[in-house]
Amino acid sequence: MIIRQLDEIPGTERETAAENWVSRRLLLSADGMGFSLHDTIIYPGTETRMWYKHHLEAVYCIEGEGELESLSDGQKYAIRPGTLYALNAHDQHILRSRTKLRMVCVFNPPCTGNETHDEDGAYCLADQRAEGQSLLAAQVSG
């Protein structure tokens, strides 16, 4: 059984930040669940282009307002508390925040915890697998 408290994560290796967001990673690859679970804050007034080429992601908004734009067809969707979007086709998209957004994100395959977006807005899969296996091996042996 894994028990974690969100308020214990800030300032640890499970918190990752970028210019537009901060993510607290509640479950990671090393936890062995087959997915990762993140509590992510998107800063207000920002625009973030993303394309998870190697991951599927489901996002559930629990706070704030924004807009999601699909880059394949230009369709725009309002994001507000209670909205779920699932990037089931490795969709290229832009997330715009009107206010601070708080999102619960699930990634498959799971993230290792140190990913940041590359120039395409993606996380690298090859490095993730290697790092995830190293973290898991260290956890098992330690």
Average pLDDT over every residue of 120-136: 50
pLDDT value of residue 116: 60
Domain count, the chain: 1
Write out pLDDT tens, residues 6-23. Answer: 999 999 999 999 999 999
Instruction: Indicate whether 106 belongs to any domain.
Output: yes
pLDDT at 90 over 90: yes
Sign of the Cα torsion 116, 92, 133, 6 reads positive
Instruction: Indicate whether 127 belongs to any domain.
Output: yes
Q: Domain holding 52: CATH number?
A: 2.60.120.10
Cα radius of gyration rounded to whole Å, the chain? 15
pLDDT at 126 over 50: no
pLDDT value of residue 128: 42
φ/ψ (deg, to 5) at 31: -75, -10
Domain range for 40 = 18-141
Instruction: Indicate whether 5 belongs to any domain.
Output: no
Write out pLDDT tens, residues 20-67. Answer: 999 999 999 999 999 999 999 999 999 999 998 889 999 999 999 999
Rounded to whole angstroms, the Cα distance separating 70 from 139 reads: 39
pLDDT value of residue 120: 58
Rounded to whole angstroms, the Cα distance separating 108 from 25 reads: 14
Percent of the chain with pLDDT over 90: 75
| Residue owning tokens 């994001």 | 79
Instruction: Indicate whether 49 belongs to any domain.
Output: yes
Residue 113's pLDDT band (cuts 50, 70, 90) = confident
